[in-house]
Chains A and B, each alone.
Chain A
Amino acid sequence: MEAISSVSGRAYPFGRKNIDTDIIIPAKWLKTISRSGLGEGAFETIRAEEGNIFDDPEYAGSPILIAGDNFGCGSSREHAAWAMADMGIKAVIAPSFSDIFSSNAFKNALLTIALPQEAIDRLIEVAQSDPIHINLENQIVTTDFQDRFPFEIDPFRKNCLLNGLDEIGLTMQRDDAITDHEASLQQQHPWLVPAQ
Chain B
Amino acid sequence: MPKTLYQKIWDAHIVESNGDTALLYIDRHLVHEVTSPQAFEGLRDAGRTVRRPDLTLAVPDHNLPTTARMDPSGTIIPIADPQSAAQLAALEKNTAEFGVPYIGATDRNQGIVHVIGPEQGFTLPGTTIVCGDSHTAAHGALGALAFGIGTSEVEHVMATQTLLLSQSKSMEVRVDGALNAGVSPKDLILHIIGVIGTAGGTGHVIEYRGKVFEEMSIEGRLTVSNMSIEGGARAGLIAPDDKTFAYLKDRPMAPKGEQWDAAVQYWKTLRTDAGAKFDKSVIINAADVAPSVTWGTSPEDVVPITGRVPDPMSFADPSKQAAAQKSLDYMGLSAGTKLQDVEIENIFIGSCTNSRIEDLRAAASILKGRKKADGVKWAIVVPGSGLVKEQAEAEGLDTIFTQAGFEWREPGCSACLGMNPDKVPAGERCASTSNRNFVGRQGPGSRTHLVSPAMAAAAAVTGKLTDIRDYK
Show the binding face of A for B, using Cβ within 8 Å: 16-18, 20, 22-23, 26-28, 30-35, 45, 68-70, 73-79, 81, 96, 98-100, 103-104, 107-108, 154-156, 167-168, 171-172, 174-175, 177-178, 181-182, 185, 189-194, 196
Tell me the bound Cα distance from A103 to B164 in angstroms. 10
Are A177 and B149 within 8 A (Cβ)? no
Given contacts A34-B38, A178-B161, contact A78 B150 (CB under 8 A): yes
Tell me the bound Cα distance from A144 to B15 in angstroms. 46
B279 at the interface (CB under 8 A from A): no
Tell me the bound Cα distance from A96 to B201 in angstroms. 12
Are A23 and B439 within 8 A (Cβ)? yes
Q: Which residue of A lies closest to B132 (CB)?
A: A76
A167-B156, A171-B159 known, 15 other contacts, Cβ within 8 Å: A18-B199, A23-B439, A30-B419, A31-B84, A33-B37, A70-B202, A74-B438, A75-B134, A76-B134, A77-B34, A104-B151, A104-B152, A154-B21, A171-B164, A189-B263
Given contacts A73-B232, A154-B21, A156-B20, contact A78 B152 (CB under 8 A): yes
Q: Can you list 25 contacts pairing A with B, beta carbon distance less than 8 Å?
A: A17-B319, A18-B198, A31-B34, A31-B87, A35-B38, A45-B439, A73-B232, A74-B438, A76-B133, A76-B149, A78-B35, A78-B152, A99-B203, A100-B134, A103-B153, A108-B152, A156-B20, A171-B156, A172-B159, A174-B160, A178-B160, A181-B15, A189-B263, A189-B266, A196-B54
1/0 per residue, CB under 8 A from A, across B110-145: the answer is 000000000000001011000011101000000000
1/0 per residue, CB under 8 A from A, across B185-199: the answer is 000000000000011
Are A96 and B199 within 8 A (Cβ)? yes
Chain B residues with Cβ under 8 A from A20's Cβ? Answer: 436, 438
Residue from B15, B84, B263 whose CB has the most chain A CB atoms within 10 Å: B15
1/0 per residue, CB under 8 A from A, across B36-57: the answer is 0110011000101000101100
B226 at the interface (CB under 8 A from A): no
Q: Which residue of A lies closest to B127 (CB)?
A: A192
Given contacts A22-B438, A181-B25, contact A168 B160 (CB under 8 A): yes
Residue from A23, A104, A108, A181 whose CB has the most chain B CB atoms within 10 Å: A181
Chain B residues with Cβ under 8 A from A177's Cβ? Answer: 15-16, 23
Chain B residues with Cβ under 8 A from A31's Cβ? Answer: 34, 63, 81, 83-84, 86-87, 419
Given contacts A18-B198, A69-B199, contact A171 B162 (CB under 8 A): yes
Q: Which residue of B lies closest to A175 (CB)?
A: B160
B: contact size bracket: 35 or more
Tell me the bound Cα distance from A103 to B341 in angstroms. 43
Are B323 and A99 within 8 A (Cβ)? no
1/0 per residue, CB under 8 A from A, across B361-404: the answer is 00000000000000000000000000000000000000000000
Are A45 and B419 within 8 A (Cβ)? no
Q: Which residue of A lies closest to B40 (CB)?
A: A33
B148 at the interface (CB under 8 A from A): yes
Are A191 and B16 within 8 A (Cβ)? no
Given contacts A69-B199, A78-B151, A96-B202, contact A22 B15 (CB under 8 A): no
**How far in angstroms is the closest Cβ of chain A from B123?**
12
Chain B residues with Cβ under 8 A from A196's Cβ? Answer: 52, 54
**How far in angstroms is the closest Cβ of chain B from A90?**
17
Residue from B152, B153, B161 whose CB has the most chain A CB atoms within 10 Å: B152
Q: Which of B267-282 contact A (CB under 8 A)?
A: none
B466 at the interface (CB under 8 A from A): no
Contact residue among B27, B150, B160, B419 (Cβ-Cβ distance under 8 Å from A27): B419
Are B83 and A45 within 8 A (Cβ)? no
Tell me the bound Cα distance from A79 to B132 in angstroms. 11
1/0 per residue, CB under 8 A from A, across B226-267: the answer is 000100101000000000000000000001000110110010
B314 at the interface (CB under 8 A from A): no
**How far in angstroms is the closest Cβ of chain A from B158?**
9
Chain A residues with Cβ under 8 A from B41's Cβ? Answer: 33-34
B440 at the interface (CB under 8 A from A): yes
Are B16 and A33 within 8 A (Cβ)? no
Given contacts A33-B86, A74-B134, A190-B259, contact A168 B166 (CB under 8 A): no
Chain A residues with Cβ under 8 A from B425's Cβ? Answer: none
Tell me the bound Cα distance from A45 to B159 in angstroms. 36
**How far in angstroms is the closest Cβ of chain A from B342?**
22
Q: Which of B285-313 contact A (CB under 8 A)?
A: 298
B356 at the interface (CB under 8 A from A): no
Chain B residues with Cβ under 8 A from A78's Cβ? Answer: 35, 38, 132, 150-152
Chain B residues with Cβ under 8 A from A178's Cβ? Answer: 15, 23, 25, 160-162
Chain B residues with Cβ under 8 A from A77's Cβ? Answer: 34-35, 150
Are B202 and A98 within 8 A (Cβ)? yes
Are B15 and A99 within 8 A (Cβ)? no
Are B148 and A192 within 8 A (Cβ)? no
B219 at the interface (CB under 8 A from A): no
Contact residue among B156, B229, B232 (Cβ-Cβ distance under 8 Å from A168): B156
Contact residue among B21, B27, B148, B156 (Cβ-Cβ distance under 8 Å from A76): B148
B462 at the interface (CB under 8 A from A): no
Q: Which residue of A lies closest to B166 (CB)?
A: A154
Chain A residues with Cβ under 8 A from B27's Cβ? Answer: 192-193
Tell me the bound Cα distance from A178 to B151 in angstroms. 21
Tell me the bound Cα distance from A98 to B148 in angstroms. 12
Residue from A75, A76, A175, A189 whose CB has the most chain B CB atoms within 10 Å: A76
